[in-house]
Every structure is written in structure tokens, then in C-alpha cells.
Amino acid sequence: MKKILQYLLIACLLVPAATKAQFETSRDSVVQLYGVIMTADSLVGIPAVSVTIKGTNRGTLTNNDGVFSIVALKGDEIEFTHVSYKPKTIEVPRNIEGNQYSIIQLMVADTVYLPATIIKARPTPEQFARDFVNTKVPDDNIEIARRNTSAATRRALMQVTPGDGGEATRIQFNRIANKAVYQGQTPPMNIFNPAAWADFIQAWKRGDFKNK
């Protein structure tokens, strides 16, 4: 029992010392990194350069003068990226004395070559006039709506568009109502109805009974 108490006493003395040493080591590895990003040819500050610590989600952007500041650890890799310049990567030295480190990073412009575009004039005014007249101009929304709502289009849609649930319900209710009105008597036949004959003639002229 006495040995156990001795071991516990030694552990209580060593753990705080180890924790303090680890904290001191971690605090000593933190570096305040700041600097300026400039063009390599004219030494002008580059704004909106992305400064990120590789392998982490931490980063920052340079201001309008190309100046930045970020907290990093000794040995971290810092990436500098911009859409108009070639990316650069540096490593924070591990043997820095103190907790501050400043740099001046130069970036080289990244030239992007686009495919050549050749603009040719029309050979003659006659050819331009011919192509201009023969060019098909797409219909605007008003013309499309006018074409879709024409009488011929609506008649064609009536032949192929099925009725919805509301229409089917109204037809069924009308049948029930007509059956109730003529309950106990013979319903009239439309063959003697002049209005029905007029509708039949109009449908015949329109070609509603032609074989599709």
C-alpha cells in the first residue's frame, strides 16, 4: 500500500510538469505569418490572393495592397493561389526564433492562350442581303402563344386531350340529373332536335368524322 501511494505521488508530480512542457512546446510552435504578395515583373501588390494552409480549412485573402496575415505552425506549407498567376507553395521554417515570420512572395503571371477567332466580312452586299433574308428568326413568346391558341390547334388538341377528373365528374352528374328529370318517361331523341342537327352539320364540315 505504501508503494502504491508513492507511485501516485510521483505521477501527480510528473503529469502537471509534462502537460506544462507540452503546452510550452505547442505555444512555441505557433507563428504569426504576415507578408506581402507582389508581381514578379513590376513589384506591385496583388489583391485577392488566396493564402491557405495546406491540409487544413484555414486561410485568408490579401487586401488591396497584397498584404496578408495568418496564424500557422512551424513546418506548415502555405499555398498562394490566384486565377491570373501561377500558384506558389512555401514552408514555414521550423527553426524560427520567436513567434513571428514575415515574407515577400513574388508571383508570376499565368498566360492563357485562347483559340484564335477569325472575323471575315461578307464578300459582297448581294450575298449579305441573300443570307439576311434567308436567316430564320426564332418566334418570340407572343407568336408561339398565337400559334398554340389558334382554332385549328385547339380542335386538334380536343381530339387527343383526355378529360380530367373534374370534367368526368361533371359528365356523370349531368347524366344522373337527366336520368332523374326523365324518370318514368321516355327521354327525348336528339334526332328531332334542330340544334343537334346544326351541331352535327358543323362537325361534318370540319371533318370531325374523318378517319385519322
Indicate whether 25 pLDDT > 50. no
Question: What would the pLDDT profile of 78-113 be if each residue is shown by its tens digit?
Answer: 999 998 899 999 999 988 888 899 999 999 998 877
Q: Are residues 158 and 187 in the same domain?
A: yes
Give the total number of structural domains in the chain. Answer: 2
Q: Find the CATH number of the domain harbouring 35.
A: 2.60.40.1120
Each residue's pLDDT tens digit, 34-58: 999 999 998 999 999 999 999 899 9
Q: What are the backbone angles phi and psi of residue 118, rounded to the nearest 5°?
A: -105, 120
What confidence tens digit (pLDDT) does each residue in 134-176 have? 888 888 888 888 888 888 888 887 777 777 778 778 878 888 8
Residues 87 and 152 in one domain: no
**Same domain, yes or no: 88 and 136:** no
Whole-number Cα distances in Å, 172 to 48, 92, 158, 167, 188: 70, 83, 19, 9, 19
Classify residue 14: in a domain, yes or no: no
Does residue 83 belong to any structural domain of this protein? Answer: yes
The last residue of a domain, from among 107, 135, 154: 107
Pairing state between β 100-107 and 30-39:
parallel
Between CA 136 and CA 204 the distance in angstroms is 38
Which domain does 103 fall in, by range? 30-107
